[in-house]
């Protein structure tokens, strides 16, 4: 491709001529955002198991395809792991609480 202003050869993807600085009219390249990364991030708040799976797949695709959304996928993985850990802690805590109540009330009667 040649610059329309100065006539020198330039890269076809250049936005500006490196020789004279004139705009070439080429559209800037934009990256796609990975849909699985976005879905994994959103679902990490509501269904963490599905969120972590989609986030892992989305992150892998972002790295392979050079897409955007890798940060969202990483955040989805972290949020899913934290949500699952908190749910397990709450579940174990409730079992301990009910066992304590059962032991307390069985000793009263």
26-55 residue pLDDT tens: 656 678 999 999 999 999 999 999 999 999
Q: What share of the chain is helix, strand, coil (3-state, %, to 5)?
A: 65, 5, 30
Which contacts (CB < 8 Å, 24+ apart) does range 77-84 have? Answer: 77/40, 77/44, 77/52, 79/41, 79/44, 79/45, 79/48, 79/51, 80/40, 80/44, 80/48, 80/49, 80/51, 80/52, 80/55, 81/48, 81/52, 83/44, 83/45, 83/48, 84/48, 84/49, 84/52
- pLDDT per residue over 59-100, tens digit each? 999 999 999 999 999 999 999 999 999 999 999 999 999 999
- By residue count, the chain amounts to 109
Give the predicted TM-score (pTM) of the model. 0.68
């Amino acid at each position: 491709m040649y610059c329309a202003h100065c006539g020198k050869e330039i890269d076809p993807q250049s936005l500006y001529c490196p020789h004279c600085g004139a705009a070439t009219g080429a559209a800037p390249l934009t990256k796609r955002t990975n849909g699985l990364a976005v879905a994994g991030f959103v679902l990490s708040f509501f269904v963490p198991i599905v969120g972590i799976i989609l986030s892992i797949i989305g992150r892998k695709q972002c790295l392979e395809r050079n897409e955007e959304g890798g940060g969202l996928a990483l955040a989805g993985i972290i949020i899913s792991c934290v949500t699952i850990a908190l749910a397990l802690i709450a579940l174990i805590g409730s079992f301990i609480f009910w066992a304590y109540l059962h032991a307390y009330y069985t000793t009263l009667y």
